[in-house]
Amino acid sequence: MLKYTSLKEKDLAYLTFILRNGMVTARQIMLEFCEPNIHRVYRRLRKLEDKKFVRHERIAHKVGVYLGTLEARKLTNVSVTVPTKASIYTMQHDLLITDLILYYQFQAQKNGLEFKYRTEREIRYAMIGTGDNQSKLKAYNAKRDRIPDAVFFFKSAEGNVTTTWVELELNKKERKRYDEKFSLFEELLSSKKASDQPYAYDQVIYFADDVKIHNAVNEAKDRLVNANKISVKKIPHVILEDRWEEVLPGGSDGKERGSG
């Protein structure tokens, strides 16, 4: 237990996970912290909500998500942007990114490898910094295409780290948008590290379920020198079908854990 506060280490861990990912479900928290059941998660979240560190929103009358507050950021000192609201699109996008993080985290644990990540909110905060809301919004709009949805760090058994720019594509964009994006990738994958980037990237992975998006990505990358460093993958069925028992370390079936 932390001295001088009623919060525990697990409370701070919950808040850090929520803040880093923007918005999460109780189910995702349960998976991240290997909690034995969903009720334990809800109890802790209610305590954090009562203290104004977490707020709960229900999107489209169905999906309940938890968001961190500015008070939580002050408490934990986590360097992230804090969302003010959750739309259906941002909710779907953010939750799927967190699912991908959990998926690769569990895969790495099962295979005895190391996996780390940085979220879009962490990267955005580092690239845009502080200031009033208007100046931050202006800086974000100028750099938004240069901010990945996430960065994955895959460490091999030999100790080599592959730094991966991650894009989650839910809707197909116009050809012009792909050409602009892929000219950026050509630049990033050809240099050691761009001046406005926190990392040097070894590869780019697009995640998408729509065949039209796969075709658009493959067409756009084929015109590049670094085409072999860009790939497009289906979102793993484990995520879409909620079959986490297939990747959970220790073979837990996860069924009694419920859903958030």
Q: Say whether both 36 and 103 belong to one domain.
A: no
Instruction: Please give the angle made by the CA atoms of 96, 97 and 100, to the nearest 5 degrees.
Output: 90
Instruction: Give me the CATH number covering residue 57.
Output: 1.10.10.10
Q: Say whether both 65 and 117 belong to one domain.
A: no
Specify whether the CB–CB gap between 167 and 97 falls below 8 A. no
Packed helices 211-221 and 175-190: angle between N→C axes, nearest 10 degrees? 50
Is residue 259 very low, low, confident or very high in pLDDT (cuts 50, 70, 90)?
very low
111: containing domain: 89-242
Q: Give pLDDT tens digits for 27-80.
A: 999 999 999 999 999 999 999 999 999 999 988 777 899 999 999 999 999 999
User: Whose structure tokens read 């658009």?
Assistant: 216
> What's the domain count of the chain?
2
Is residue 247, in this structure, part of any structural domain at all? Answer: no
pTM: 0.89
Q: Tell me what percent of the residues of the chain surpass a pLDDT of 90.
A: 68
Is residue 253, in this structure, part of any structural domain at all? Answer: no
Helices (H), 114-156: 120-128, 133-143
Q: What is the pLDDT of residue 133?
A: 59
Is residue 252, in this structure, part of any structural domain at all? Answer: no
Q: Give pLDDT tens digits for 154-179.
A: 999 899 999 999 999 999 999 889 98
Q: Say whether both 68 and 146 belong to one domain.
A: no
Q: Say whether both 236 and 139 belong to one domain.
A: yes
Is residue 109, in this structure, part of any structural domain at all? Answer: yes
Q: What is the pLDDT of residue 22?
A: 95
Q: Say whether both 154 and 231 belong to one domain.
A: yes
